[in-house]
């Protein structure tokens, strides 16, 4: 029996990372709004981080758009778990 792990598992891991990143970004924006720290430096830093995020997501999409996600990432053969008779 062969156990295969498809490549789209990595896509789910990436999606989980994006969910965590977006939740931290929302908390950061909430913190800026609640504390009332609307300064030029906080705006520039938030704009810089937002711009880098958008550029990263765009280039990631460009790289991953043509990937065949049905390919296998790993294949494990379970034959080595079977005991061979010793004569």
> Lowest-pLDDT range, 4-8, 16-20, 51-55, 58-62?
4-8
Backbone Cα Rg of the chain? 22
Instruction: Give CA–CA dist 33/31, Å, rounded.
Output: 5
Predicted confidence band of residue 23 (pLDDT cuts 50, 70, 90): very high
Question: Would you say the pTM of this structure is higher than 0.75?
Answer: no
Residues whose CB falls within 8 Å of the CB of residue 73, separated by 6 or more in sequence, listed in order: 4, 5, 6, 7, 9, 10
pLDDT in tens, 24-44: 999 988 888 888 777 888 888
Q: How do the domains of the chain map onto residue ranges?
A: 2-77
Residues whose CB falls within 8 Å of the CB of residue 1, separated by 6 or more in sequence, listed in order: 77, 78, 79
Q: What are phi and psi of 86, to 5 degrees?
A: -100, 120
- Average pLDDT over the chain, rounded to an integer: 86
């Amino acid at each position: 029996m062969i156990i295969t792990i498809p490549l789209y598992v990595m896509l789910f891991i990436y999606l989980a990372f994006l969910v965590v990143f977006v939740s931290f970004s929302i908390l950061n924006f909430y913190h800026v709004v609640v504390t009332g720290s609307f300064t030029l430096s906080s705006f520039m830093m938030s704009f810089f981080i937002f711009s880098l995020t958008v550029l990263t997501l765009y280039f990631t999409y460009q790289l991953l758009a043509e990937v065949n996600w049905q390919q296998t990432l790993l294949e494990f053969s379970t034959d080595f778990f079977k005991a061979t008779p010793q004569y």
